[in-house]
Chains A and B, each alone.
Chain A
Amino acid sequence: MYQYLEEELDQLRTRIIKMGSLVEEQIELAFKSLYEQNLELANIVIERDDKVDKYDVKIDKQCQRIFALTQPVAIDLRLIMSAMNINNDLERMGDIAVNIAERTLNFIGYQDLLERIQLPEMTKKVQAIVKGAIDSFVNNDAQMAAEIIKLDRVIDKAYEDIFERLIHEMTENKNLIKPCSHAITLLRNIERLADHSTNIAEDVIFLVDAKIIKHRKDIDSAEDSPTV
Chain B
Amino acid sequence: MKLIKIQVENLNLYYGKVHALKNISLGLEPNKVTALMGPSGCGKSTFLRTLNRMNDLIDSCRIEGDIEIDSENIYSKDVDVVALRKKVGMIFQKSNPFPKSIYDNISYGPRINGVTKKSELDEIVEISCVKAALWNEVKDRLNESAIGLSGGQQQRVCIARALAVNPEILLMDEPASALDPIATAKIEELIFELKNSITIIIVTHNLQQAARVSDKCAFFLSGEVVEFNSTRKMFTKPEDERTQRYITGKFG
A residues with a Cβ closer than 8 A to B are 1-2, 5-6, 71-78, 210, 224-228
Contact = CB atoms under 8 A, between A and B. Distances in A.
A227 B231 CA distance: 9
Nearest to B232: A228
Chain B interface size band reads: 10 to 19
Contacts of A77: 235-236
Going nearest first, the 9 A-B pairs with the smallest beta carbon separation are A2-B249, A210-B237, A73-B235, A225-B236, A228-B235, A76-B248, A73-B247, A71-B208, A74-B244
**Secondary structure at chain B's binding surface: helix, strand, loop or mixed?**
helix
18 contacts: A1-B249, A2-B249, A5-B248, A5-B249, A6-B250, A72-B248, A73-B248, A74-B248, A75-B248, A76-B248, A210-B237, A224-B233, A224-B236, A224-B237, A226-B232, A226-B236, A227-B232, A228-B211
Interface in B218-252: 231-233, 235-238, 244, 247-250
Contacts of B237: 74, 210, 224-225
Given A73-B211, A75-B244, A228 B249 contact: no
Nearest to B252: A2
Given A72-B248, A73-B211, 14 more contacts: A2-B250, A5-B249, A71-B208, A73-B207, A74-B236, A77-B235, A210-B237, A224-B236, A225-B236, A225-B237, A226-B236, A227-B236, A228-B211, A228-B236
A210 B249 CA distance: 19
Contacts of A228: 211, 231-232, 235-236
A227 B233 CA distance: 8
Contacts of A1: 249
B232 A74 contact: no
Contacts of A6: 250
Nearest to B230: A228
Contacts of A5: 248-249
A76 B249 CA distance: 10
Contacts, number: 44
Contacts of A73: 207, 211, 235-236, 247-248
Nearest to A2: B249
A226 B235 CA distance: 10
A74 B231 contact: no
B20 to A, nearest CB: 27
A210 B244 CA distance: 13
B247 A74 contact: yes
Contacts of B247: 73-74
B212 to A, nearest CB: 9
A77 B237 CA distance: 10
Contacts of B250: 2, 6
Nearest to A6: B250
Most chain-A Cβ atoms within 10 A of its Cβ — which of B211, B232, B237, B248?
B248
A2 B248 CA distance: 8
B207 to A, nearest CB: 7
Contacts of A210: 236-237
A225 B236 CA distance: 7
A75 B238 CA distance: 9
A33 B233 CA distance: 49
A76 B207 CA distance: 14
A69 B72 CA distance: 46
A228 B235 CA distance: 6
Nearest to A9: B248
A226 B250 CA distance: 24
A32 to B, nearest CB: 42
Contacts of B208: 71
B227 to A, nearest CB: 12
B231 to A, nearest CB: 7
A78 to B, nearest CB: 8
A5 B249 CA distance: 9
A2 B251 CA distance: 10
B33 to A, nearest CB: 14
Interface in B189-236: 207-208, 211, 231-233, 235-236
Nearest to B236: A225
A151 B249 CA distance: 38
